[in-house]
Amino acid sequence: MGDRRKKVFPFLILISLIFLLPLRAELKYTTMDWKDGAKAGVCITFDWEDDYPHSIYVPGRTADLKGDLPEKTDRILSILDGHDTRATFFVVGIVAEEFRESFEQIRAEGHEIASHGDYHRGYNQTGVEDPQEIPNFGDQDFDEQIIRMEEAERLMKSSPTGFRAPGLNFNDDTLLALESLGYLYDSSLQTTHRIKPFHPVVNNEQLALLEIPVTSGEDASSWDLYGRKYDGPDPNKQWKKDFEEVYNSGGVYVPLLHPAFIGKDSRLLATLEEFLEHVQSYNIWMTTMNDLATWHMNKEQLHVAVKNPRGTISILEIENNGGKIDGLTVEVDGKVRAFGRNILVSHVDDGENGFTKITFMALEGGKTRVVLVRV
């Protein structure tokens, strides 16, 4: 009987403290958008296509690929390895088949393989003046797109979770086809207005598919195109400006690069290195598109609340209805002591009351509770 009282007594004291101590200002908290409390996400992406590939776009023509894409890819992979960076490669199916060894090297070095279609031709290219330059395949419907997406997977011999439409030419049927095939995310939208992942709405219904937009700068349609606009803005200044705008807004920065272009120019290769060094000096989470999409979707399944938010002792409760999520950070205003399992706690002094960072190293399914004591 005595042992039972010893176990119950501390619990009764805790309950008493929670509900009987004087009330204070409500304890405010913020669940951070990115892993390990990073301020922004960064996904380095490459569209893996050949330098002069138009001859392979037109049905009935034989592939006439230039043979230097593997050499250019090697240069890119070397830079990524030197900066401990995993990237996402959006691969054209026919190019993977033609350059199988180079394609497998990308995967072997730990980079994500995503789909860039069967041939490098869009899904909604209308009104094109010269079909020999950029073939006009018209507005393709759902069934046609399903066939082409499955053909891309067959050519790659892969089952990717992400997709980017060639030329960023897509329509609602593209999104519906991806949803039907079980893709996790799309990255065909290019915008200056949306810098965070979101679920697109088609026919008044929100899709499970996640859209991760390509970052669009002020004067170019993709990251490495700045280097092609010789009479345009200084590439270094423009890239950094675009990144810092996304960073300061807490979004995800998604540059679109082409190994076939950037890999052939030592000036651009050097700029890529400089850029990686620049962004890695910030508080970012640099990861692949698949990992970012998975983390984001798991975070959507969390329900976070503070029990007794005005008390001296409160309970931070997280209910996880999704998969395991690592590196979730919750910031609590002021200085508190936090007691729980598998957490890292640190106080940040910002000149006022500061805030306390609580990072969950591994958050499993179900409910997780952390005791917060105001200091």
Of 247, 282, 317, the residue that ends a domain is 282
Instruction: Tell whether 296 is covered by a domain.
Output: no
Taking the CB of residue 315, how many other CB atoms lie within 10 A of it? Answer: 17
Q: What is the mean pLDDT of residues 228-249?
A: 75
Q: How is residue 325 annotated by DSSP?
A: B
28 lies in the same domain as 44: no
CATH code (residue 266)? 3.20.20.370
> Are 27 and 55 in the same domain?
no
CA-to-CA distance for 307 and 371, rounded, in angstroms? Answer: 10
Q: Which domain holds residue 344?
A: 21-37+301-374
Q: Name which residue leads in pLDDT, 364 or 350.
A: 364
* Residue 16, domain member (yes or no): no
Q: Are 364 and 320 in contact (CB under 8 A)?
A: yes
Q: Is 283 helix (H, G, I), strand (E, B) or coil?
A: coil
The phi, psi pair for 359, rounded to 5°, reads -110, 125
Residues 249 and 335 in one domain: no
Structural domain tally of the chain? 2
Q: Are residues 277 and 310 in the same domain?
A: no
Answer whether residue 322 is part of any domain. Answer: yes
In this predicted structure, the answer to whether residue 249 has a pLDDT above a threshold of 80 is yes
**45 and 29 share one domain:** no
Residue at 276: amino acid letter: L
Paired with 124 in beta bridges are 139
Q: Which two tokens stand for residue 108?
A: 């072997």
Q: Considering 250, 282, 314, which residue would you say is the last residue of a domain? A: 282
pTM metric for this prediction: 0.86
Task: Output the CA angle 131-134-139, nearest 5 degrees.
Answer: 80
The token duo for 223 is 């990251």
Identify which of 271, 194, 180 has the alpha carbon closest to the alpha carbon of residue 228.
271
Is 348 part of a structural domain of the chain? yes
The DSSP symbol for 225 reads G
Q: Taking the CB of residue 351, how many other CB atoms lie within 10 A of it?
A: 5
The pair phi, psi for residue 271, each rounded to 5°, is -70, -35
Q: Per-residue pLDDT tens for 18-58?
A: 555 555 789 999 999 999 999 999 999 999 987 544 444 44
- Give yes or no: residues 119 and 64 share one domain: yes
323 shares its domain with 238: no
Q: Give the single-character DSSP code of 327.
A: S
pLDDT over 70, % of the chain: 79
